[in-house]
Chain A
């Protein structure tokens, strides 16, 4: 039988606040264990949470950008369960009355643009982390690090509308890009500041109902999300083909074995006993606040992509890559402002610059070549000061040293030879040194022309202006005829 997959995602994004959601502790990643803790986030007897307004602001910004319907009054609820990384024995989250309902993200697929609808966006606090000596199974001792406890999260839940692992990954990439544009989340999946769980089921193609779903966890990269979903879909198909039933359960992606493993079944599932947190008052959001946030939203990836296509007449693929992050798009625009040939700037960024950055696993922010340097170098190629070939060398040098292109060219003596009399001398020398080739050319073998150009370039160590060399060579070969 032909099956199709039905996938819904739950994304947890850490909000980029200075302090935690319910206390003043720092949210800095990488501190010594339990350094960023206080009586409130360690759940001492008698402490009370106080909501960080900035958290609501960043969550609102996200919800507004994703076109969600903002609840004028949302309520924090306690999600009760026991675990050592959860010091209060409950997580403060939202349940019946979330911050935002609905909304959507548009993704590009084979069939064009597709709208993936969101169920809800809500606020919650992160839990801590368990650290084991050795592996979890064999450890003599486990330790609790509560630095992450109380770091603010938004949970974004999609409708079960994704149909393939590729689509799920595309959604996740797009969402990550939007979150980063909004400066609400750094989107780092490896460090866990962006986390993704997935609900997966399969059904016969054409069927409208939903199959039994499994919940997938521990997919901490885009690649793992795709692999895990692909594996899980195939596993479910194989299960049904074998005449067996799919069990509703939570499964973990095992990155070393590339398989999903059962973690707990529905019977073992928690009853979280949600109820409104009596320590917190409802979050009241008036339309003025929402409008203020709407008014201050930055240009988002789709809008920017469209503008790049229209204003810079770039191919859609170029525009899409350039707008993947706001930083790269800004870089492009700064360079274009000084060197207004968009396609050339785009080509250099997409080929040379991104190749270097990808190789070094660097972000554009950590790139030594400033947009001013890049545009300066392009201007030098344009006015003939250097050749395109030298340009690549200059670029590598800029990337390596962070120096200005002018300084590099001067230092290395790479200025292109434009002077006709200087070039004429070199050409004369080349022609005199190769009488046989000259004869061949004059006998009609015009292919030899290239050989002369090569020789001139070699003699000038690539610094001759190729256009001038062509002109002068033709003149010489003809006049001496």
Chain B
């Protein structure tokens, strides 16, 4: 097996046994990045020197026997909306093209302390607004399974880097599906934890009540290992929850006997891709064969997910992005110093891309006096109903299984002219953010065209364990099956 194909778990064993050094793996991956990234465009910034320094430090720790985390010495990638001390954090925007944060995001600090090696910052839709990683100042990222197609978004760079073996694992952020959807498109495992599980401190905010950092990895075990390192209460984030984080590895038993799998009729809709539907239904059959019990459930407010999401997320975004005004840091339009108003106007007109501006305008409108009750307040009320749907559903099941996206990865450029078509891709993922639940996407097959299909597994609040347990059991079966077939 080539070094770049390693998983966290596999590499950790080799590093611990001193069969390979972190520096070796890091050099290998950096070389692979310089070879493949010009085409795939998964990375915005590659931090070669820093990575090698971190790798040498990790090797030292491994040699001294004080590498307590399985991530020590493991090269990973960080989405470019998470602050990295001393390394530019652009959010794929002109606004922050040269912004170098003076501090690490809490999630980044935790990974740094664990001894992980940061290869660089991954491409994304500007300020995480998008489902295709086409809305990037640095150009679109490509799907490693078909370079003419998108990798999904907004964490498209991270999903692409993991799928193309340009890192061992990566971090993503998920506001309406931004981890799960690209994971589905790229055929990797991605998880959005329960809202409040992972600190948002240092994650550049898109929609504060929905944003959550999570892992993107090559398999379920890696996903749980990276998740373990990310989770935990942070006093710097008032919305982070102070409750014990279980040992996720203990859930990876492969045993799903008696597990009740909720299947919501509303998530198998008319017009969805037949191959996608078949792959997911097949996945459910596999779990059933392992002793899980499918239960028909209903999530009646599913249809409101998209409008509610695009009201709440844009409203919060319009306020969160107000700080980019050219006064303190980041981009300031040239020659715009005549009046303050002009400076604001030109800086924000030139600094933001079209999709970000569209969402700022939508959100500003939703919060405006006279419209607030009809839009923002109403959206919050419906959000409560969506949350109640899930609470009710979880009375009858332990996990919910759905497709992650109704269709596989689409060609680059196909939907950029039609924002509504793009927004509709989030139909199965946004409700999970609105309800604050944990959700995971994993590969469950491929289309006849060779594109990966993602299956989404949802759990109760703070029950990532059962989600991972289900995912692991499914993965064990599909690995066995593919091996048998091979």
Residues of A within 8 A of B (CB): 39, 42-51, 78, 80, 82, 84, 87-90, 144, 271, 273-275, 278-281
Q: Which of B235-243, B437-445, B469-477 lies at the interface with chain A? A: B235-243
Interface string of B205-236 (1 = CB under 8 A from A): 10111000000000000000000000000011
A45 contacts which of B204, B315, B325, B369 (Cβ < 8 Å)?
B204
Bound complex: CA A39 to CA B207 (Å): 19
Contact A42 B328 (CB under 8 A): yes
Do B101 and A84 have beta carbons less than 8 Å apart?
no
B334 within 8 A of A: no
* Interface: B322 (CB within 8 A): yes
The answer to whether A278 touches B316 (Cβ under 8 A) is yes
Q: Closest CB of chain A to B467's CB: distance in Å? A: 24
Taking a contact as CB atoms under 8 Å apart, the answer to whether A273 and B200 are in contact is no
Q: Which of A45, A144, A275 sits near B319, CB closer than 8 Å? A: A275
Known contacts A43-B328, A44-B329, A50-B236; A275 and B315 CB within 8 A of each other: yes
Q: How far is the CA of A45 from the CA of B91 in the complex (A)?
A: 10
Q: Which residues of B contact A45 (CB under 8 A)?
A: 83, 89, 91, 96, 99, 101, 204-205, 323
Chain B contact residues, majority secondary structure: loop
Nearest opposing residue in chain A for B200, CB measure:
A48
With most chain B CB atoms within 10 A of its CB, the pick from A78, A144, A273 is: A273
Contact B319 A43 (CB under 8 A): no
Query: Is B340 part of the binding interface, using a Cβ–Cβ cutoff of 8 Å?
Result: yes
Q: Which residues of A contact B321 (CB under 8 A)?
A: 89
In the bound complex, do residue A281 and residue B238 qualify as a contact, i.e. CB atoms below 8 Å apart?
A: yes
Interface contact A279-B208, CB-CB below 8 Å:
yes
B239 close to A275 (CB less than 8 A): no
Instruction: Annotate B346-380 by CB proximity to A: 1 below 8 A, 0 otherwise.
Output: 00000000000000000010011100100010000
Whether B203 and A281, one on each chain, are in contact in the complex, defined by CB atoms closer than 8 angstroms, is no
Expressed in whole angstroms, the Cα–Cα distance for A76 and B319 within the complex equals 14
Contact (A271, B368) CB under 8 Å given A43-B323, A48-B200, A87-B323: yes
Q: Which residues of chain B have C-beta atoms less than 8 A from A89's C-beta?
A: 319, 321-323, 325
* Partner of B238 from A78, A144, A273, A279 at Cβ < 8 Å: A279
Count CB-based A-B contacts (< 8 Å): 97
Q: Which of B235, B364, B367, B372 contacts A50 (CB 8 A)?
A: B235
| Chain A positions within 8 Å of B89 at CB level | 45-46
- A279 contacts B239, CB within 8 Å? yes
Among B207, B239, B315, B319, max chain A CB count under 10 A is at B319
Residues of B within 8 Å of A279, CB to CB, are: 205, 208, 238-239
What is the chain A residue whose CB lies nearest that of B370? A271
- The listed residue (A48, A82, A144, A271) touching B236 by CB distance below 8 A is A48
B102 within 8 Å of A (CB atoms): yes
Given A46-B205, A279-B208, A279-B238, A87-B319 contact (CB < 8 Å):
no
Main secondary structure of the interface of A (DSSP, over half): loop
Interchain CA distance A271-B83 in the complex, whole Å: 32
Q: Which of A80, A82, A90 has the most chain B CB atoms closer than 10 A to its own CB?
A: A82
Whole-angstrom CA separation of A44 from B102 in the bound complex: 9
Bound together, the chains give a CA A80 to CA B237 distance in angstroms of 21
The answer to whether A46 touches B204, judged by C-beta atoms less than 8 angstroms apart, is yes
The interface size of chain B toward A, counting residues with CB under 8 Å, comes to 43
Could you tell me if A46 and B201 are in contact, using CB atoms closer than 8 angstroms? yes
**Do B205 and A275 touch (CB < 8 A)?**
no
Provide the bound-state CA to CA distance between A113 and B367, in Å. 44
A271 to chain B: which residues have CB within 8 Å? 368-369
Query: Does B124 make an interface contact (CB < 8 A)?
Result: no
B200 touches A84 (CB 8 A): no
Q: Give the shortest distance, in Å, between A20 (CB) and chain B (any CB).
A: 14
With A and B bound together, what is the CA distance between A92 and B257 in angstroms?
50
Q: Are A78 and B319 in contact (CB under 8 A)?
A: yes
Q: Which residues of A contact B322 (CB under 8 A)?
A: 80, 82, 88-90
A-B contact pairs, 19 of them (CB 8 A): A42-B328, A43-B323, A43-B328, A44-B101, A45-B204, A47-B202, A48-B236, A48-B238, A48-B239, A50-B237, A51-B238, A84-B325, A84-B327, A87-B327, A89-B322, A271-B369, A273-B319, A278-B208, A281-B239
Q: By the criterion CB–CB under 8 Å, are B325 and A82 in contact?
A: yes
Known: A279-B205, A279-B238. 17 other contacts (CB 8 A): A45-B89, A45-B91, A45-B101, A46-B203, A47-B201, A48-B201, A48-B237, A48-B239, A50-B238, A78-B319, A80-B322, A80-B367, A144-B328, A275-B319, A275-B376, A278-B209, A279-B239
A90 to B89 alpha-carbon distance, docked (Å) = 23
B159 within 8 A of A: no
Instruction: Determine the distance from Cα of A48 to Cα of B83 in the docked complex, in whole angstroms.
Output: 13
User: Contact: B368 with A273, CB < 8 Å?
Assistant: yes
Which residues on the B side are within 8 Å of A275 (C-beta)? Answer: 315-316, 319, 367, 372, 376
Q: Is B344 an interface residue (CB 8 A)?
A: yes
Question: How far apart sit A273 and B369, CA to CA, in the bound complex (Å)?
Answer: 6
Q: How far is the CA of A395 from the CA of B315 in the complex (A)?
A: 67
Shortest distance between the CB of A42 and any CB in chain B (Å): 6
- Taking CB atoms, residues of chain B closer than 8 Å to A49 are 238
Pairwise interchain contact A84-B340, C-beta atoms closer than 8 A: yes
Chain B residues lying within 8 Å of A144, measured Cβ to Cβ, are 327-328
Q: Kindly list chain A residues whose C-beta atoms are within 8 Å of the C-beta of B315.
A: 275
Going nearest first, the 9 A-B pairs with the smallest beta carbon separation are A89-B322, A278-B209, A273-B367, A278-B208, A45-B204, A46-B202, A43-B323, A46-B204, A84-B327
Min CB–CB distance B261 → chain A (angstroms): 32
**Measured between alpha carbons, how far is A43 from B204 in the docked complex, in Å?**
11
Q: Which residues of chain A are within 8 angstroms of B99 by Cβ–Cβ distance?
A: 45
Closest to B82 in A: A46
A39 to B201, CA, bound (A): 11
B344 touches A82 (CB 8 A): yes
For A78, the closest partner residue in chain B by CB is: B319
Q: In the complex, which residues of chain B have a beta carbon less than 8 angstroms from the beta carbon of A90?
A: 319, 322
Q: Complex Cα distance A47/B315, Å?
A: 19
Choose among B99, B237, B325 the residue with the greatest number of A CB atoms under 10 Å from its CB.
B325
Chain A residues whose CB sits within 8 angstroms of the CB of B235 once the complex forms: 50
Are A280 and B238 touching (Cβ within 8 A)? yes
Chain B residues in 8 Å Cβ range of A273? 318-319, 364, 367-369, 372
Complexed CA–CA distance, A389 and B364 (Å): 74
Q: Are B367 and A88 within 8 A (Cβ)?
A: no
Q: How far is the CB of A77 from chain B (nearest CB, A)?
A: 10
Which residue of A has the minimal Cβ distance to B377?
A275
The answer to whether B102 and A39 touch across the interface, beta carbons within 8 angstroms, is yes
- Tell me the chain B residues, 314-345 only, with Cβ under 8 Å from chain A: 315-316, 318-319, 321-323, 325, 327-329, 340, 344
B426 nearest CB across to chain A (Å): 19
Give, as a whole number of angstroms, the nearest-CB distance from A332 to chain B.
46
Tell me, yes or no, whether B15 is within 8 Å of chain A by CB.
Answer: no
Residues of B within 8 A of A48 (CB): 200-201, 236-239
Given A84-B327, A90-B319, also A39-B103 (CB < 8 A): yes
- The answer to whether B141 has its CB under 8 Å from any CB of chain A is no
Q: Which of A42, A43, A280 has the most C-beta atoms of chain B within 10 angstroms of its own C-beta?
A: A43
B188 at the interface (CB under 8 A from A): no
Q: Kindly provide the distance from the CB of A421 to the nearest chain B CB, expressed in whole angstroms.
A: 82
B 173-217 binary contact with A (CB < 8 Å = 1; else 0) = 000000000000000000000000000111111011100000000
B25 at the interface (CB under 8 A from A): no
Given contacts A78-B319, A273-B364, A275-B367, contact A46 B83 (CB under 8 A): yes
Query: Does B308 belong to the interface (CB within 8 Å)?
Result: no
Complex CA gap A43/B201 in Å reads 12
Given A89-B325, A280-B238, the answer on whether A46 and B101 have CB atoms closer than 8 Å is: yes
Q: CB-nearest residue of chain A relative to B93?
A: A45
Q: In residues 154-175 of chain B, which contact A (Cβ within 8 Å)?
A: none
Whether, in the assembled complex, B432 has its beta carbon less than 8 Å from a beta carbon of chain A, the answer is: no
Q: Which residues of A contact B316 (CB under 8 A)?
A: 275, 278
The reply to whether A88 and B323 contact each other, CB–CB distance below 8 Å, is yes
Contacts of A82 in B (CB 8 A): 322, 325, 344
Closest to B196 in A: A281
Which residues of chain A have C-beta atoms less than 8 A from B205's C-beta?
A: 45-46, 279
**B319 and A80 form a contact (CB under 8 A):** yes
Q: How far is the CB of A46 from chain B (nearest CB, A)?
A: 4
B150 at the interface (CB under 8 A from A): no
